[in-house]
Structure 1
């Protein structure tokens, strides 16, 4: 019984960690006139953090100078 309880606690801990990680992620929808540096300034407080947004969205962005209106970008946690 104790082993089953330990497994269940471990499973719950992993689920809570996953939820916490998901909660840290934010989604930003690109608007006309946006750039990664502008989004970084507005969302992360520092335009020079644009590479963090680029890294978090490499599956969606091939060229950091080319983003599209309506594109949904994941914004990393601003805990830096």
Structure 2
């Protein structure tokens, strides 16, 4: 049986925090340089494009236009899932991302 209302005794506990902030000089990054370069043009890749949906368009029609195959419609659908809930319900005026052939999403 435990004693009612008995609390833990922490009176003998102590803590110490030591910091090195004042002991170490600040790092000097003044000589650090960075350069970001794209490889898209260097390896023959192409960037994604956009397409504004027109009245009568379907994803299959758009895929045929960009990829040469209507069956590639799902590539466009996958790249635009943030704005397309149903591949059969695209609307005129929507701006779709058309992935480059080598940028096609997987899955």
TM-score range, shorter chain: 0.7 to 0.9
The runs of 4+ residues in structure 1 deviating greater than 3 Å are none
Bigger RCO (CA 8 Å, 6+ sep)? 1
Question: Aligned pairs, how many?
Answer: 69
CA distance in 2, matches of 1:56, 1:24: 13
Answer with 1 or 2: which has the greater Rg: 2
**CA RMSD of the aligned region, Å?**
2.2
Task: Answer 1 or 2: which has greater helix percent.
Answer: 1
User: What TM-score do you get using the length of structure 1 for normalisation?
Assistant: 0.74
The C-alpha deviation readout for 1:2-61, integer Å capped at 9, x for no partner, is x724xx14xx23xx25xx4xx611000000110000000001111000000000000010
Normalising by structure 2, we get a TM-score of 0.57
Is the aligned partner of 1:52 residue 2:75? yes
